[in-house]
Amino acid sequence: MYTDTAVGRVAHQKSKLNEENVNDALRLAEYILEKKEELHTYQDDFHYFHISMRELEQTLLTLNHADSLESRATTHLENQDLELLNNLYCLWETNLENRFVDFLKQGVVKHYLDYPLYARFERLIHREVSLLQGLNPKRLLFIGSGPMPITALCLKNRLGTQIDCLERNLDAVNESKAVMKLLGCENEINILHGEGEFIDASNYDVVLVALLAKPKHLILSSIRDSADKNVKIICRTSEGARTVFYEPTLDNAIPDGLKSVAHEKAGIDDTISSYLLEKVL
């Protein structure tokens, strides 16, 4: 189903970037730029695109320098290089989701547990639920759910609460609705078509903002203006080497009237960190 040979390929070939011969951040930056060109070449061929992206992930997410070498390597990249890498990662993740939805429709897979990045999202949701410190929300809004709302499915499994997903792309909305019906979750996870910067969040006690949901400042401003004073906002971001995959949520994206009160960092083999935001009372 997925030709994911990247792990074996990286493990068995003599890589110029294994821990014995990585001498400095510049060499790693050069490797990232080489992978960028490779990914750009393969972006219309999912088989090789997938292998190449998983190789880049494994190199950046499993070395033992997560807060030093890899982070310094990104300082050698131009903004346009990072922007292209972010766009390529978004394309890869969207294609991965769409392919999985197709497999669900065809009966090739039966459960969201079969999603290739399920374990990664399960770890992410575990960290994000811990930010709530025991709060069991009555209703939760997830902004930017995409075609395969794996976040919502993991949240439902952990919290058992009513979840609304807001997605601006109509095709992704239709795919998500099909997924919910196939999985029998249409009464627990509601898929809405709309834009986060115009959302009325007054009915939610927890709002989760996806990393790819943009524009962040306007979305967070809309939540600030419409939500209850006690609302908990989980806003995803990327840090260090993870900015190769996702554009980070910078401090200037958080509007006046909101403050960060807690933070969960991405672990080994994870790509996303999370902030807990609250209203300034």
pLDDT in tens, 39-98: 999 999 999 999 999 999 998 887 644 456 667 788 889 999 999 999 999 999 999 999
User: What pTM did the predictor assign?
Assistant: 0.89
For residues 182 and 105, the answer to whether their CB atoms sit within 8 Å is: yes
- The answer as to CATH 3.40.50.10490 being correct for domain 118-279 is no
Q: Which two tokens stand for residue 274?
A: 């999370």
Residue 188, classed as helix, strand or coil, is coil
The phi and psi torsions of 56 (rounded to 5 degrees) equal -65, -45
Sorted by where each begins, the domain ranges of the chain are 6-77, 118-279
Closest CA to 121 of 272, 236, 276, 275: 272
Which residues on adjacent β-strands are paired with residue 192? Answer: 166
pLDDT in tens, 112-143: 999 999 999 999 999 999 999 999 999 999 99
